[in-house]
Amino acid sequence: MADPMKIRANAVGDSTEVKVLMSHEMETGQRKDAQGKVIPAWFIQNVHVTHNDKVVLAAQWGTAVSKNPFMSFKFKGGAKGDKVKITWVDNHNDTRTDEATIA
Amino acid sequence: MDHDRREALRRGGAVSLLTLVAAAGWLPRGAAAETWNKDAFATHSLDETIKALGGGAPVPSQDIVFFSTPDIAENGAVVPIGITSNVPKTEAVAILVEKNPNMLAAVFDVPAGTEPSLSTRIKMAQTSHVYALVKADGKYYVNSKEIKVTLGGCGG
């Protein structure tokens, strides 16, 4: 299981600003190791952000997203104390879900 | 969306509905199913990518704005990209890097209620144009910005 995500969710006016830092290698499948063998691709493919069970952002990622991916966005609504849930799934079908409280 | 699906159906064949939805490119709203558009992520040109995403020729638009995006990136492994779409009814935003081995970097589905403004960090193999592709009301819009990659300040 991968390390937890760092999630910040802040109420700004009538919107909620979400910032998330995930912990993932995001290996491209282009690099070679010391023996010249290709290091297989290993990267996050899907990310879902939900607020009160409503999807507020759904993403598909390729290998070009940086290692330890960062993402930020805003959605309307969301009150202090509400939970924002973020899930990612990588190409090994490994997955991780973390929650944050809107501050 | 209906139009996309019909087109996907025509091109499709005996594939599952889920694959078709994935082929159409954009996840239906609220779908929790994990779909990943394999074809779109294996493309090498803007036209190819948009086709794989189920769209037609994009219209250049100044309503798509890059923010907190550098002109010169010292480290190609971590290039901050911020995109705001002022196109009404934006449904999805995609980031494409022209000279990467695979052009498509990321696709974000933006449901109603979410501001079509987001930022992330991507990898760039070399100096290249970065395209922000926006799907709004079933149509495609594009804007681009050149980002120079110096890779550790060796000049580029």
Residue B118 has pLDDT above 90, yes or no: yes
Is the minimum CB–CB distance between A42 and chain B shorter than 8 Å? Answer: no
Q: Which positions in chain B have a beta carbon within 8 angstroms of at least one beta carbon in chain A?
A: 27, 29-32, 34-37, 41, 77-79, 97, 100-102, 104-111, 113-115, 117-124
pTM over 0.90: no
> Concatenated DSSP letters for A13-63?
TTEEEEEEE-----B-S--B-TTSPBPPPB-EEEEEEEETTEEEEEEEE-T
Does residue A69 belong to any structural domain of this protein? yes
ipTM comes to: 0.93
Q: How far apart are the CA of A35 and the nearest CA of chain B, in angstroms?
A: 22
Average pLDDT of span B76-97: 94
Per-residue pLDDT tens digits for A2-46? 789 999 999 998 999 999 999 999 999 988 889 999 999 999 999
Nearest by CB: A46 against B30, B34, B124:
B34
Question: Could you tell me the pLDDT band of residue A56, with boundaries at 50, 70 and 90?
Answer: very high
Indicate whether B25 belongs to any domain: no
Average pLDDT over residues A51-70: 94
Q: Nearest-CA neighbor of B96 among B87, B78, B83? A: B83
CATH at residue A22? 2.60.40.10
CB contact at 8 A, A75 and A18:
yes
Q: Classify the C-alpha dihedral B82-A77-A55-B110 as positive or negative.
A: negative
- Which 8-state DSSP code applies to residue A80? T
Residue A86 host element (H or E): strand A83-90
Query: Does residue A31 belong to any structural domain of this protein?
Result: yes
- Contact between B30 and A65 using a beta-carbon 8 Å cutoff: no
Q: How many CB atoms lie within 10 A of CB B39?
A: 17
More confident residue, A28 or B5: A28
Question: Domain residues for A61?
Answer: 6-101
pLDDT at B32 over 60: no
Chain A contact set for B108 (CB, 8 A):
57-59, 73
B97 lies in some domain: yes
CATH value at residue B141? 2.60.40.2470
Say if A59 falls within a structural domain: yes
Query: Is the pLDDT higher at B14 or at B55?
Result: B55
Nearest to A89 among B27, B29, B34 (CB): B34
Residue B19 has pLDDT above 90, yes or no: no
Residue B48 lies in a domain: yes
Q: Report how many domains make up chain B.
A: 1
Average pLDDT on B62-90 reads: 94
Q: Would you say residue B15 lies in a domain?
A: no
How far is it, in rounded angstroms, from Cα B23 to Cα A53? 26
Lowest mean pLDDT among A21-25, A38-42, B5-9, B74-78: B5-9
Task: Tell me how far apart the alpha carbons of residues B16 and B4 are, in angstroms, rounded to a whole number.
Answer: 16
Residue B10 has pLDDT above 60, yes or no: no
The partner residue sitting opposite B121, judged by closest CB among A15, A70, A74, is A70
Domain that holds residue B104: 44-149
Three-state helix/strand/coil letters over chain B: CHHHHHHHHHHCCCCCHHHHHHHHCCCCCCCCCCCCCCCHHHCCCHHHHHHHCCCCCCEECCCEEEECCCCEECCCCCEEEEEEECCCCEEEEEEEECCCCCCEEEEEECCCCEEEEEEEEECCCCCEEEEEEEEECCEEEEEEEEEEECCCCCCC
Residue B5, token pair as written in the block: 């699906």
Q: With a cut of 90, say whether residue B31 has pLDDT above it.
A: no
Q: Inform me whether the pLDDT recorded for B13 exceeds 60.
A: no
Nearest to A61 by CA among B78, B41, B91: B41
A74 and chain B in contact, CB less than 8 A? yes
Q: Does residue B56 surpass a pLDDT of 60?
A: yes
